[in-house]
Structure 1
Amino acid sequence: MLISLFMLLFAAIVLFHKWGNNDAISTTINTAPPIAKQGTLDGSGLITSQAESIALDGEWEFYWRQLLEPIHFQSAYPPVSELVQLPAPWTTYSDSHGSFLPSEGYATYRLRVLLPKDVSEAARTLALYPKSIASAYRIWINGQLVGGNGSVGSDRISETPKSYPEIVYFQPRTGWNEIIIQVSNFSQRNAGIWQRMELGTADTISWERILHVSAQSGIVGIFGVMSLYYAFVFWNRKQETSALLYSLLCMSVGVRTVVLGESTALYLLPGLPWEWAVKAEYISVAMTALLLILFINREYPAEAVRHSSVLAGIILPGCMSLFLFTPAHVYTYMLTPFTWGVLFPSLLYTLYIYLRSAINRSKGALTSMIGFLFFMAFALNDMLFYTVHLPTEDMLSIGLLVFLLTQAYNLSSRFSRALYESEQLSLQLKESNQRLEQIVEERTRSLRKTNEELQEANKKMSDSELFRTRLLSNISHELSTPITSIKGFAKALRDGIITTDAPKYVNRIYTRSLMLERMIHDLIDLTKLETHQVQFKMQDVYVIPFMLELFLKYETDVHAQGIQYVIDMPEKSGLLEPKDEDWIVQLDPIRLEQVVSNLISNALRFTSPAGIIHVQLRLAETPDTEQGWLAYICVKDTGVGIPPKWQERIFDRFEQARPPSVQDEHKGSGLGLSICKEIMHYHHGDIGVTSEPGLGSEFCFRLPAWKGRVSPNDKP
């Protein structure tokens, strides 16, 4: 009863809409709509205050195998035309010998429309709405190219097919308005202007287009939601194969709907190839027929014909393979035998199953049969429409929607009954477990809180233990050598073995003590860095003033050893405009100064007097960072250099490339570069060295940089 009321309501809406359109036309011009005759259409009776459109049906000028433009009709000898009836594919036209025109070819259509003066004054913009022109076209109105689809060509190579409804806007003029349409088709069975075109005000046509697209999108949305819902039903209950088939059926119908009629898919995705849209149309139709047969055989196994599923599983996938692996100019010619030889028998078989199930009074069969009869009527309409036997429009989606709603009602009823029984059974279990769940929840909450506290305490203990273990291991392993040396010198002095050079050895003991103190400090610092117990205070810093300040801090110490000390900044090298200091890096000023200090100290240690220590800052553009720039900070010396075999190892702890010429009192802890490497890791940067023995070394590290302004709170 509910479905019947729905269908009556739908029919009433359709009739009311049709009656309303006819009434609007009749009240506008009080006569029948204007029809084109002899290539002209008299629209002088059009009243622009009414929101209506007129169909450009009737006799158009037709120029076969000619691609004409407005200039060709302005000559003293215009081309000779034939008169053809639109809308209709040109395969229904005959040539001078009485033979029907082939589907492949090209032609020009022309129509002159007489518009009243008030149209050009009141309705400043008119619109032309071609529904479907196969398979590529261009439109001129009043001598101007105003629209088209695809690329018109004189052969299959030069043509790019693309056909979907598209509104063409133009400025009308008083009197005669000329419409010229070039059309070519080398891609499919249909050819020419085979669907109605409408002319009206821009607002009227745009609103009509919006209504059509909205209606189609709404139907597709319903199919999508139904498909998703029953897919989830199958996901949660694998025994419900009918739900899976129904989900796929809704999806298949949705795909067909979105590529036909208003061609919403091509409208929203203009980059979608026309060929694949046509393949989707044909394949989805075959898939719908296959899923329909499988679904009804699953729903009514007692009434199903034996081996019907197997037969459908052979024929319809074969058709889908033909559509998939052949071009449109091949398989579209199979539409008539496919429609009446495959689809129509599938409909008859489905109707037969529903009739038998209704006679046997199977549950839900009568409702499903009523919905299927509604669907079958619209399916026959589309079969006749696409085989050019009926001048209507594509309406199968409406019939499918009604049919699928009846199936959804039956499936939902079955699932609802099963759910109700399940709920009754689970209700008792739920009541009996309710108290237990409350107890479990309370204990779980308490255990969760205790567990979180234990995890936090355990983490702190683990970090402390890791720090202690590494520090003790490093101290016990690495401090034995300087301690042994100190003990040896002290014992020799105590026992009187060393007498003449005592001050020299006392100085060595003092030097070893300083080195031991520095090593302990570096070990603690490195261990904290490795165990992530150091908090970095990252700030956005102007890198140029920051480097100038660091350079000046060490200028006195470098000059005291007789070494030249120079700096090279970007503005001096021409990389940046003068006084352009708005380059920013994110860093911890104290930790980065520790890196620069270590590099300068190393350079001082291995550079002889009269040498040069060169500090350089340069900025380079790079695609490897989000900011797009890198700041390179380098410390270069003219010292003894580093052998190639040591250049990759010196950043490991306790590795030193110390030449024999360097005195022991200048020996470092071997941890400085390791600390620098860890600090750069925290800054998302890296550090490296290039060196040649005898010519000096250059240590460089790099940081992401960008141009901008630093907040006053971030300045170091």
Structure 2
Amino acid sequence: MLVGLMLLFTAIVLLNQWSQKESMSSSVPMTPPAAKQGMLDWSNLYTDQEESIPLDGEWEFYWRQLLEPTDFQAAHTPVSNLVELPAPWTNYSDNSGGFLSSEGYATYRLRILLPQELSEGAHPLALYPKSIASAYRIWINGHLVGGNGIVGTNRISETPKSYPEVVYFQPRTDWNEIIIQVSNFSQRNAGIWQHIELGSADSISWTRILHVSAQSGIVGIFGVMALYYAFVFWNRKKETSALLYSLLCMAVGVRTVVLGESTALYLLPRLPWEWAVKAEYISVAMTALLLILFINREYPAEAVRQVSVVSGVILPGCILLFLMTPAHVYTYLLTPFTWGVLFPALLYTLYIYLRSATKRRKGAVSSMIGFLFFMAFALNDMLFYTVHLPTEDMLSIGLLVFLLTQAYNLSSRFSRALHESEQLSLQLQETNQHLEQIIEERTRSLRRTNAELQEANQKMSDAELFRTRLLSNISHELSTPITSIKGFAKALRDGIITADAPKYVNRIYTRSVMLERMIHDLIDLTKLETHQVQFRMQNVYVIPFMQELFLKYETDVQANGIQYIMDLPAGSDLLTTGSEDWLVQLDPIRMEQVLSNLISNALRFTSPAGIIHVNLRLTEAPETEKGWMACICVKDTGVGILPEWQERIFERFEQASPPSVQDEHKGSGLGLAICKEIMHYHHGDIGVSSKPGSGSEFCFRLPAWKGRLSPHDKP
């Protein structure tokens, strides 16, 4: 397995180098020459303006000198050394035969003679320095065009800040001069240790944007995966491995966003460089710690407890060291940290996967394959950041493959659980099939019985409510007329009343008629209140319907010597402007009962030569569903009603009759209560307006609308 890992790693390295050569050959049909003695002559080289060219080769190097373009225009130019780029200056030897210190400052210089299609182009060119440690300034053709941080000659005067940046300049037809001042007192790497690319401003800008977008997309994937596994743990606290995996994705996401294209510094330019480096190192240590905890949680039988204890001490100690010390201290520990802590953690994880695969644990083989990819890319990053391998940062790709294998294991686990559940369900269904049939039959029987019992119970409940309310009303309200009848009858029987006997006999008869009417009204009102009345609602044209009702009572009113006036809006503009007629929904018999009661009351309290005025009008009512109301009013010139009685007369047994009204003209006191209940069923209302001595006006309203009756609505 170790041989396979090494073969896989070798294939990745060769593939990376091949892709770099392919990209260079695709961008430059002829292999571009490397810089020699600080000069790069590309005048005879054809290149595509859409591609970039690496500025590799020999550059002039001035150690411990911060030179500017004016220094090279003097009579005595400084003496330089020649160094190969890209490489950290710790790879360069000094005059004593040793190597340069990582702390120091220097100036790099390169002169370029560009091809004609680039030097004479109308568009500017751009440089793309990926990483220069740790602060730098760039001059091109005598102009300061960019930089990061503040270059200094000691740790106090330097402000480190290093991330990929695009600088633009206008090329010249002759030699173009590039001068880069670099200082480093902040970290292990120093100088120009990655490629600097040259190309058109558009192509370099798009390259930078694409790199940042790609890195942001990868970080977004890690963030989504972290959030998903966090929700898995939130909904099922037993899934500790889901929490560990969520934190693992988060740690690698943090590392990705501060490395490579340094998207965090690109999007947050005010983020301190020191904290970005701390985030890089802490996230790597957290990744190793979470990886060990995750693998131990997934395969506890194969885990080695001593490794967990040791890693639980060393890795948190490293995190504390990175957090408490500055970058110029802990970055020098990268090599021992990489090969003494991270690499053993990877080997331990591989060992656990090998043992679990040997014991045929579920999902162990696929997880091990994914981890091999992850480990190969992790080894690539270790060698790349220790400047042993000229590749790129690719750990996020390896982790993505690892995530896919874990997703596959998770889906396999759910599929197996679902399959087992289906098998158990099938067995249970077969075992209980007969019992379910019996239960189903008994359930149907019980439902039928229950429905019959509910129906019978409802009928009994309605009947009992009707009986109770009727008996209550009869016992409470009929006692007075019965007592009166008994008194008159006893007086006649005992001879107390002799002279006016016919008069009292007539009173007994009048009381009996009123009692009979009261009993009928009580039954009718009780049925309405207990919802035992069936209403036959239908849509009718309100004007002809009301006109027909009004005419029914014309003869009776006029026979009492009272003037009867009907006022219908048949000729008003409201009804003739549209092609539609006005409709209402009502029960014709019940609505006639309401109008009959109002006209009877008006006759009872209006003296001869008085007037009864019946009126129909249509009014807007925006607060209602239909938007209109049909208002029917019965107005008389009778005795009127006192204000304190105008609300009470719609309650049962409430009458506002003046003392002058004879007993034979008094009603049961239930008619208006019945009218109120009927209007409630019609979604309407009823009310009164009256002044004592000036008559009364009773009005009831129904929802109305314009329309035409359909064939099935017509009687």
Distance between the aligned counterparts of 1:384 and 1:294, measured in 2? 25
**Alpha-carbon contact 2:260-2:393 (below 8 Å) kept:** yes
Distance 1:329 1:13, change over 3 A: closer
**Alpha-carbon contact 1:252-1:285 (below 8 Å) kept:** yes
Q: 1:654-687 CA deviation, whole Å, 9 max, x = no partner?
A: xxxxxxxxxxxxxxxxxxxxxxxxxxxxxxxxxx
Give the equivalent residue in structure 1 for 2:206.
Answer: 207
- Which residue type is aligned with residue 264 of structure 1? T
Q: What displacement does 1:277 show?
A: 0.4
Give the equivalent residue in structure 2 for 1:642.
Answer: none
Give the equivalent residue in structure 1 for 2:128.
Answer: 129
Q: What displacement does 1:26 show?
A: 3.5
**Alpha-carbon contact 1:258-1:264 (below 8 Å) kept:** yes
Give the equivalent residue in structure 2 for 1:176.
Answer: 175
Distance 1:49 1:71, change over 3 A: same
How do residues 344-383 of structure 1 correspond to structure 2 at under 5 angstroms? 344-383=343-382
Distance between the aligned counterparts of 1:16 and 1:299, measured in 2? 33
**Alpha-carbon contact 1:93-1:101 (below 8 Å) kept:** yes
Which secondary structure does the structure 2 equivalent of 1:277 belong to? helix
Give the equivalent residue in structure 1 for 2:341.
Answer: 342
Q: What displacement does 1:409 show?
A: 2.1
Distance between the aligned counterparts of 2:11 and 2:99, measured in 1? 41
Tell me whether 1:246 sits opposite 2:245 in the alignment. yes
**Alpha-carbon contact 2:141-2:178 (below 8 Å) kept:** yes
Q: What displacement does 1:122 show?
A: 2.5
Which secondary structure does the structure 1 equivalent of 2:305 belong to? coil
Q: 1:91-141 CA deviation, whole Å, 9 max, x = no partner?
A: 111111112111111110000011133212235211100000000000000
Distance 1:344 1:204, change over 3 A: same
**Alpha-carbon contact 2:258-2:265 (below 8 Å) kept:** yes
Distance 1:321 1:113, change over 3 A: same
**Alpha-carbon contact 2:49-2:200 (below 8 Å) kept:** no
Give the equivalent residue in structure 1 for 2:94.
Answer: 95
Which secondary structure does the structure 2 equivalent of 1:324 belong to? helix
How do residues 27-106 of structure 1 correspond to structure 2 at under 5 angstroms? 29-106=28-105
Distance between the aligned counterparts of 1:13 and 1:94, measured in 2? 32
Distance 1:126 1:67, change over 3 A: same
**Alpha-carbon contact 1:124-1:172 (below 8 Å) kept:** no
Total equivalences in the alignment: 427
Give the equivalent residue in structure 2 for 1:287.
Answer: 286
Q: 1:431-464 CA deviation, whole Å, 9 max, x = no partner?
A: 99xx9xxxxxxxxxxxxxxxxxxxxxxxxxxxxx
| Structure 2: 5+ residue stretches without partners | 430-435, 445-715
Tell me whether 1:312 sits opposite 2:318 in the alignment. no
Distance 1:99 1:20, change over 3 A: closer
Give the equivalent residue in structure 2 for 1:191.
Answer: 190
Distance between the aligned counterparts of 1:337 and 1:167, measured in 2? 34
**Alpha-carbon contact 1:62-1:108 (below 8 Å) kept:** yes
Give the equivalent residue in structure 2 for 1:158.
Answer: 157
Q: What displacement does 1:276 show?
A: 0.4
Distance 1:123 1:201, change over 3 A: farther
Q: What displacement does 1:374 show?
A: 1.1
- Which residue type is aligned with residue 176 of structure 2? N
Distance between the aligned counterparts of 2:10 and 2:49, measured in 1? 26
Distance between the aligned counterparts of 1:312 and 1:17, measured in 2? 33
Distance 1:190 1:15, change over 3 A: closer
Distance 1:133 1:377, change over 3 A: same
**Alpha-carbon contact 2:28-2:48 (below 8 Å) kept:** no
Distance between the aligned counterparts of 1:393 and 1:19, measured in 2? 13
Tell me whether 1:119 sits opposite 2:93 in the alignment. no
- Which residue type is aligned with residue 145 of structure 1? L
Which secondary structure does the structure 2 equivalent of 1:97 belong to? coil
- Which residue type is aligned with residue 35 of structure 2? A
Distance between the aligned counterparts of 2:174 and 2:316, measured in 1? 56
Distance between the aligned counterparts of 1:226 and 1:260, measured in 2? 20
**Alpha-carbon contact 1:123-1:201 (below 8 Å) kept:** no
Give the equivalent residue in structure 2 for 1:391.
Answer: 390
**Alpha-carbon contact 1:88-1:195 (below 8 Å) kept:** yes
**Alpha-carbon contact 1:28-1:47 (below 8 Å) kept:** no
Distance 1:376 1:283, change over 3 A: same
Q: 1:320-364 CA deviation, whole Å, 9 max, x = no partner?
A: 000000000000011011001000100110111111111111111
- Which residue type is aligned with residue 104 of structure 1? E
**Alpha-carbon contact 2:137-2:147 (below 8 Å) kept:** yes
Q: What displacement does 1:390 show?
A: 1.3
Distance 1:356 1:47, change over 3 A: same
Q: What displacement does 1:382 show?
A: 1.1
Q: What displacement does 1:144 show?
A: 0.4
Q: What displacement does 1:412 show?
A: 3.5
**Alpha-carbon contact 1:152-1:159 (below 8 Å) kept:** yes
Q: TM-score scaled to structure 2, two decimals?
A: 0.56
Q: 1:35-87 CA deviation, whole Å, 9 max, x = no partner?
A: 11100111223435452111111111001111111010011111111111111
**Alpha-carbon contact 1:48-1:122 (below 8 Å) kept:** no
Distance between the aligned counterparts of 1:178 and 1:423, measured in 2? 75
How do residues 488-499 of structure 1 correspond to structure 2 at under 5 angstroms? none
- Which residue type is aligned with residue 154 of structure 2? D
Q: What displacement does 1:15 show?
A: 9.1
Q: TM-score scaled to structure 1, two decimals?
A: 0.56
| Structure 1: 5+ residue stretches without partners | 436-716
- Which residue type is aligned with residue 100 of structure 1? F
- Which residue type is aligned with residue 239 of structure 1? K
Which secondary structure does the structure 2 equivalent of 1:84 belong to? strand
Percent identity, aligned pairs only, is: 82
Distance between the aligned counterparts of 2:247 and 2:117, measured in 1? 54
**Alpha-carbon contact 1:63-1:82 (below 8 Å) kept:** yes
**Alpha-carbon contact 1:219-1:397 (below 8 Å) kept:** yes
Q: What displacement does 1:313 show?
A: 0.8
- Which residue type is aligned with residue 287 of structure 1? M
**Alpha-carbon contact 1:358-1:365 (below 8 Å) kept:** yes
Q: What displacement does 1:403 show?
A: 1.4
Which secondary structure does the structure 2 equivalent of 1:113 belong to? strand
Distance between the aligned counterparts of 2:271 and 2:29, measured in 1? 44
Which secondary structure does the structure 2 equivalent of 1:307 belong to? helix
How do residues 527-542 of structure 1 correspond to structure 2 at under 5 angstroms? none
Distance between the aligned counterparts of 1:13 and 1:392, measured in 2? 10
Larger Rg: 2
Distance 1:21 1:179, change over 3 A: same
Distance between the aligned counterparts of 2:23 and 2:381, measured in 1? 27
